[in-house]
Amino acid sequence: MAQTLEQFIAEVKVDIEAFAADYRASHAANPEHYPLELGDNNDGLWLEFFTEFMTRE
């Protein structure tokens, strides 16, 4: 099925917002394991966390 750039962007925005809501809820329940800021040279972890969220069943 064809998909426009705008459709793709809208879909990714929904996924990112879902990740953010899930991560913030996890932070509220367990802030030590779900920090809202990552230290120097660890910013790539956000993509890892997002990828893991997207591949959960």
Q: In the predicted model, is pLDDT for residue 57 greater than 80?
A: no
Whether the predicted pLDDT of 45 surpasses 90? yes
How is residue 40 written in tokens?
């120097």
Where along the chain do its domains lie? Answer: 5-55
Specify the pLDDT at position 43. Answer: 86
Q: What is the pLDDT of residues 5-36, one digit of tens each?
A: 999 999 999 999 999 999 999 999 999 999 99
Report the greatest alpha carbon distance in the chain. Answer: 43
| Full-model pTM | 0.88
